[in-house]
C-alpha cells in the first residue's frame, strides 16, 4: 500500500476509566487492527507480547495487528482502533478483542515505522487529537466523519515528526538503553544491580543515568521497582501464592522489605491490596 492510498476508518474510539471500574485489569486479547492509546491518568501498565510496561499520564502507545496485549488497572485513557484500508464493513458491531480477520501490517513509510511508545512530555498535541476524535466519533455525523479522517492524518503526521526530528527517545531510541530495559523486563525476578547495568552498557555512570531518565522518565532503580511491583500486583490478584513467594518471584528475597516497599508505593500492604481488589 502506498502512503497516498491510506484510507483510515475508525472502528472504535472509547474513553476507559479503570479507576471507576474497580477491576484488576483486562483479559489478554489479540490485536487485529491498528490501535492508538493516550493515557490521561495511570498507576497501571500494559503488557504487550509478554513485555510489561508501566505507563503514566501523557504516555502514548501504539499497537499493530498480531500483537497480544492486556492492561493492568488502574488506568484512564482514550483508545482508538483504525482500519487503514477503508474497510467500512468491520465497523458495524465491532467488539474489541473478538476473533476477527487481522488487518495486514501495511508497509508504508509511515505505518511501518510506528513506534510502540511515545513518552509523556512529547504527546500534548497527540492527546488533543485523540480527545477531538473521540468527541467527533460520539456525534457520528457525516461532517464529523470527515473531521475524524483529517485528525487521524494529523495524528500520523505528528507521530512522524516526533520520530524523525531527533526528538524521540520515548521509543527507547538509544540502543544501549533499549538493551538495558529489555534485560530488566526479562530478569526482574533475579538480583539486579544498577552498577551491573551501567557496566554492560559501556557508558559512563553519569551518561547512563542521563540517557535512562530521558528515555524512561525514571531512574534505573525506580524503573526496576515499578516493573517488579506491577508484576507483584498481578500475582496477588491472579494467584493464591503466599506473599513471601510473590516477593521472591518479583526479585525480593526479604519479605519484610518487599512489604515495606509495596506499601510505600501502593499505599496498601500486599494482603490489603489482595483483599481490596478482588
- In sequence order, which ranges of 3-107 are alpha helices (DSSP H)? 18-21
Question: Which alpha helices (DSSP H) does 96-219 contain, by range?
Answer: 124-139, 142-164, 175-187, 194-201, 205-216
Could you tell me the residue ranges of all domains in the chain? Answer: 3-164, 175-277
Would you state the pLDDT for residue 213?
82
Q: What pLDDT is recorded for position 3?
A: 65
Say what the pLDDT of residue 152 is.
Answer: 95
CB 72, CB 25: distance < 8 Å: yes
pLDDT (0 to 100) of residue 135: 93
Residues 83/36, Cβ–Cβ less than 8 Å:
no
Per the CB < 8 A criterion, the answer to whether 55 and 61 are in contact is: yes
pTM of the model: 0.63
CATH 1.10.10.60 fits 175-277, yes or no: yes
Over the chain (278 residues), what is each successive 10-residue block's mean pLDDT? 80 91 77 94 86 88 88 93 89 80 77 82 91 91 85 92 61 68 85 90 90 81 86 81 93 95 89 78
Q: Give residue 99's pLDDT.
A: 76
* Highest CATH level, class, for 3-164: mainly beta
* Structure confidence at residue 154 (pLDDT): 94
Give the other-Cβ count within 10 Å of 199's Cβ.
12
Q: Are 247 and 258 in contact (CB under 8 A)?
A: yes
In 3-state terms, what secondary structure has residue 268? coil
* pLDDT number for residue 150: 92
Amino acid at each position: 500500500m502506498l502512503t497516498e492510498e491510506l484510507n483510515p476508518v475508525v472502528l472504535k474510539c472509547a474513553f476507559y476509566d479503570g479507576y471507576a471500574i474497580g477491576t484488576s485489569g483486562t483479559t489478554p486479547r489479540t490485536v487485529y487492527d491498528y490501535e492508538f492509546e493516550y493515557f490521561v491518568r495511570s498507576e497501571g501498565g500494559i503488557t504487550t507480547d509478554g513485555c510489561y510496561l508501566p505507563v503514566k499520564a501523557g504516555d502514548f502507545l501504539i499497537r499493530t495487528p498480531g500483537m497480544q496485549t492486556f492492561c493492568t488497572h488502574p488506568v484512564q485513557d482514550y483508545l482508538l482502533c483504525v482500519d487503514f484500508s477503508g474497510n467500512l464493513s468491520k465497523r458495524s458491531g465491532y467488539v474489541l478483542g473478538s476473533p476477527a480477520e487481522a488487518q495486514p501490517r501495511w508497509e508504508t513509510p509511515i505505518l511501518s515505522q510506528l513506534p510502540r511508545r511515545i513518552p509523556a512530555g512529547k504527546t500534548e498535541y497527540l492527546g488533543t487529537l485523540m480527545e477531538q476524535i473521540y468527541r467527533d466519533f460520539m456525534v457520528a455525523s457525516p461532517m464529523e466523519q470527515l473531521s475524524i479522517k483529517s485528525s487521524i492524518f494529523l495524528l500520523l503526521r505528528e507521530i512522524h515528526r516526533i520520530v524523525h526530528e531527533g526528538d524521540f527517545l520515548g521509543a527507547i531510541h538509544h540502543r544501549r538503553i533499549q538493551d538495558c530495559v529489555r534485560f530488566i523486563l526479562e530478569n526482574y525476578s533475579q538480583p539486579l544491580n544498577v552498577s551491573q547495568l551501567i557496566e554492560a552498557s559501556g557508558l559512563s555512570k553519569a551518561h547512563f543515568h542521563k540517557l535512562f531518565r530521558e528515555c524512561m522518565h525514571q531512574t534505573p532503580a525506580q524503573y526496576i521497582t515499578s516493573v517488579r511491583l506491577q508484576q507483584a500486583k498481578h500475582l496477588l490478584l491472579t494467584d493464591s501464592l503466599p506473599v513471601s513467594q510473590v516477593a521472591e518471584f518479583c526479585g525480593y528475597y526479604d519479605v519484610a522489605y518487599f512489604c515495606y516497599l509495596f506499601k510505600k508505593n501502593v499505599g496498601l500492604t500486599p494482603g490489603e491490596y489482595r483483599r481490596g481488589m478482588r
